[in-house]
Amino acid sequence: MTEPVRGRREAQIPVARERRLRWGDASLTALLAAQCLTTFVAIPIAAANPRGRTLLDVSHLVFAAVCAVALTRNQVVRGALLLSLAAFAIGPPGLDRLGASLGTETPHEMIAVVAFSFNLLVTVLVARRAFGPGRVTAHRVQGAVLVYLNVAALFAIAYSLIEAHAPGAIRSTSSGPMVAAPGVRTAELSYFSLSTITGVGYGDFVPVHTLARSLANLEAVFGQLFPATFLARLVALHLAHTGRAEPDKADARQPPPDGVTESPPRGAG
């Protein structure tokens, strides 16, 4: 390989890397939009109307597809994301047929475990990209918001697993135990999780089981600490980036050393 060709290829590596980083940052915005659609639109609609389950499944698939394509180049991690995507695509119908001899709750528990593992992996990948070194952008700020919503979703799934094994672990103060219908229960637990992590605490749902109370306390502590930690990290990244940029500008304005004259512009004189 000749030196000019090798030089051109080496020069293209940073450009390709910068392009991948920009695409990865932009994917954080797409993931946040998909998560908001799932949490604030699809889940309530699916609880109110069984036909809304299709919208919820589509939201999950879009979210999983963007994660598998944009968040990582590691083949093992990408394979795990694609397997989770396949599990979401098979969904309750396939697992219901599989679980005919396993009991009524087992397929839903399997889905919950897959969803929890998938969301945990995505949360770690998003957090690494949002809080990693580099320039603070609007996409990375939105990625931090996505981490916050993902953690609320993780706790909602954990509550659903507790509720499946200990019915009545989380109770409504007005109507007692939660509704058994999966769509309605998902909406109620998502609402309870968001109320807990934000510290709103309306008091219409309360944890009764010991493990549910412990998880609710942990989620409330995370909800209080995350905004402060998030803000401190963003400020530190911004200062670190501007601190590196300022010396470069100063060096560019610095006059040449004594005894060295700048060559006049081409064509001058």
Give dist(CA 141, CA 182) in Å, integer. 33
SS3 state of residue 156: helix
The amino acid occupying position 65 is A
Does any domain span residue 253?
no
Highest mean pLDDT range out of 3-12, 101-110, 212-221, 240-249? Answer: 212-221
- Asked if 39 and 150 touch (Cβ cutoff 8 Å), the reply is no
Q: Is the pTM of this model over 0.75?
A: yes
CA neighbor of 105 nearest in space, from 208, 187, 181, 192: 181
Token code pair at residue 21: 């980083």
Cβ atoms within 10 Å, residue 144: 23
pLDDT tier at 74 (50, 70, 90 boundaries)? confident
What is the share, in percent, of the chain residues with pLDDT greater than 90?
29
CA neighbor of 123 nearest in space, from 63, 187, 43, 41: 63
The parent domain of residue 57 ranges over 15-97+106-241
Q: What's the CATH code of the domain at 22?
A: 1.10.287.70
Does any domain span residue 255?
no
Highest mean pLDDT range out of 6-15, 18-27, 137-146? Answer: 137-146
Cβ atoms within 10 Å, residue 53: 17
Does any domain span residue 168?
yes
Residue 261, φ and ψ in degrees, nearest 5: -105, 140
Does any domain span residue 237?
yes
The stretch 106-134 carries a mean pLDDT of 82
pLDDT tier at 157 (50, 70, 90 boundaries)? very high
Total domain count for the chain?
A: 1
Does any domain span residue 2?
no
